[in-house]
Structure 1
Amino acid sequence: MRPRSLDPGEPEQIGDYRLSGVLGEGGQGVVYLGQAASGVHVAIKVLHARAAVDAKSRQRFMREADTARRVAPFCTARVLDVGTFDGRPYVVSERIPGVSLAEAVATDGPRTGSGLQRLAVATLTALAAIHRAGVVHRDFKPSNVILGPEGPVVIDFGIARALDHATTGTGLVGTPAYIAPEQFAGQPPGTASDMFSWACTMVFAATGRLAFPAETLPALLHAISTADPDLSGVPDELRPPLAACLDKDPGARPTAAGLLRHLTGHDAPDTGRPAETWADTSPVADVSPPVTARPALDTVGETRSDAVPPTVPVEQDIVRGGVPGPVRRNRSVSRRWILGLGTGLAGLAATVILVLQFTSRESPPVDGTPLYSDDFSEQGNWDGYTFNPDSQGDDRVTRGYEIDRGVYSIHADAADPSGPALSPVPAKEPSSPSAVERNVLIGATAEVREGSTGPGSFGLLCRWDENTPNGYVFLLGLDGVARVVRNAQGTRLDVGPRAQVDPASAGRKVRLQAACRQVGARTRLTLWIDGTQTIDVTDDRTLPDSPQSQVGLIAQVPDAGSGDITVSFDDFTVHRTG
Structure 2
Amino acid sequence: MNGDRVVGGYTLRRLLGRGGMGEVHLAATPTGGLAAVKLIHPHLAGDPVFRRRFEREVAAARRVARFCTAPVLDAGIDGDVAYLVTEYVKGPDLAQAVREQGPLSGANLEALAVGVATALSAIHGAGVIHRDLKPSNVLLSPLGPRVIDFGVAQLVNDSMASQAILGTPAFMAPEQVRGEPLTPAADVFAWAGVIAFAGTGRPPFGSPPSEALYRLVHREPWLDGLDEGIRAVVERALAKDARLRPTAQELLAELVGGTRLAAATQVVERTWTGAVAAAGRPEAVAAGAAPSGRRRRRWPWRAAAPSGRRRRRWPWVAAAGSGALALAVAAATLPGLAPRSWPYEAGFADGWAVGASDAGGTRLDGAAYELTVEPGWRLWKSAPVREPENGVIVSAKATLEEGEGEYGVWCHGSASSGDRYEFGVSGAGKVSIVKRRTGTGGKTLYGPADAPRTAANRIVAECGQSGSKVTLRMWLNESLVAEVSDAEEPYGPAEAGVHAASGATRRARVSFESFAVRPATGT
TM-score band (shorter)? 0.3 to 0.5
TM-score, normalising length from structure 2? 0.47
Q: Which has the higher strand share?
A: 2
Q: Which has the higher helix share?
A: 2
Q: Which has the higher contact order (CA 8 A, sep 6+)?
A: 1
